[in-house]
């Protein structure tokens, strides 16, 4: 006789970039076992695991490769909350005395912090501009621990939708790799920094923590942002 089928609870969240309601379920045991392997995984493997878990736990409602990284990070943290627990322990360094102490926060208090007006069009001259998209999760994982100019260059390159002037829009998909490289390498440092600013100002998951230092009683305000800084 077959064992009975278990019903998995479902929940609902709001996708940060669209405001749409998304149904999701917690990780199953088999998926949690995969999650535990992430500490030894390569960057590409981490990106693959996170995306696959988000995709299957949201019932394949999303075009996962097109979803901005901050959506993936937020959804993943909500999955973690319902699957493992809402409480996350962190170590705080006191801003007053420099001593370290334990604190905690509730994952479900995490927010996606975004500026009200961020244009996806960046003017690099008076008449020529670039249209960008937010990085996906794979893009962002590759630069977690690196400020290498090549990684930054590759990130910018992968997030260009097109180049435009007063008369035409040049779809990046219609350009060769050499043409894109030549265009980007012809930018001045100041022009490239204008493009970088788009990524600096892009939305990100943020948790603000208030806690009192047990050593000197100083009231600390701490800020954690980006999935790589959370305990998964």
Q: What is the pLDDT of residue 145?
A: 55
pLDDT below 50 — which residues of the chain? 231-232
Burial class (CB within 10 angstroms; exposed 0-12, middle 13-18, buried 19+) of 135: buried
Q: What is the pLDDT of residues 48-107, one digit of tens each?
A: 889 999 999 999 999 999 999 999 999 999 999 999 889 988 899 999 999 999 999 999
Q: Is 189 left (phi over 0), alpha (psi -120 to 50) or beta?
A: alpha
Q: What is the pLDDT of residue 146?
A: 59
Q: What is the pLDDT of residue 30?
A: 87
Q: Cα(66)–Cα(53) distance, rounded to whole angstroms?
A: 16
Q: What is the pLDDT of residue 11?
A: 96
Q: Cα(110)–Cα(114) distance, rounded to whole angstroms?
A: 13
Q: Under a CB-based contact definition with an 8 Å cutoff, are residues 204 and 112 in contact? A: yes
Q: What is the pLDDT of residue 232?
A: 41
Q: What is the pLDDT of residue 231?
A: 45
Q: What is the pLDDT of residue 17?
A: 92
Q: Under a CB-based contact definition with an 8 Å cutoff, are residues 121 and 131 in contact? A: yes
Q: What is the pLDDT of residue 139?
A: 85
């Amino acid at each position: 006789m077959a064992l009975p089928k278990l019903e998995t609870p479902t929940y609902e969240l709001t996708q940060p970039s669209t405001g749409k309601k998304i149904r999701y379920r917690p990780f199953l045991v088999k998926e949690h076992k995969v999650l535990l392997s992430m500490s030894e995984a390569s960057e590409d493997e981490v990106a693959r695991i996170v995306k696959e878990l988000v995709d299957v736990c949201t019932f394949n409602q999303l075009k996962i490769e097109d979803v901005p990284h901050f959506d993936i990070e937020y959804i993943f943290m909500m999955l973690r909350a319902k699957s493992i627990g809402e409480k996350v322990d962190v170590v705080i360094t006191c801003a007053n005395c420099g001593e370290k102490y334990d604190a905690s926060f509730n994952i479900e208090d995490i927010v996606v912090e975004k500026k009200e007006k961020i244009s996806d069009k960046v003017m690099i001259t008076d008449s020529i501009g670039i249209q960008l998209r937010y990085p996906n999760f794979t893009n962002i994982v590759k630069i977690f621990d690196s400020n290498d100019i090549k990684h930054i260059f590759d990130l910018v390159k992968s997030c260009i939708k097109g180049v435009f002037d007063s008369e035409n829009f040049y779809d990046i998909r219609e350009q060769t790799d050499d043409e894109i490289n030549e265009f980007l390498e012809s930018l001045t440092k100041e022009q490239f920094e204008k493009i970088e600013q788009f990524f600096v100002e892009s939305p990100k998951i943020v948790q603000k923590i208030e806690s009192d230092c047990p050593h000197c009683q100083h009231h600390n305000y701490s800020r954690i942002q980006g999935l790589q800084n959370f305990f998964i």
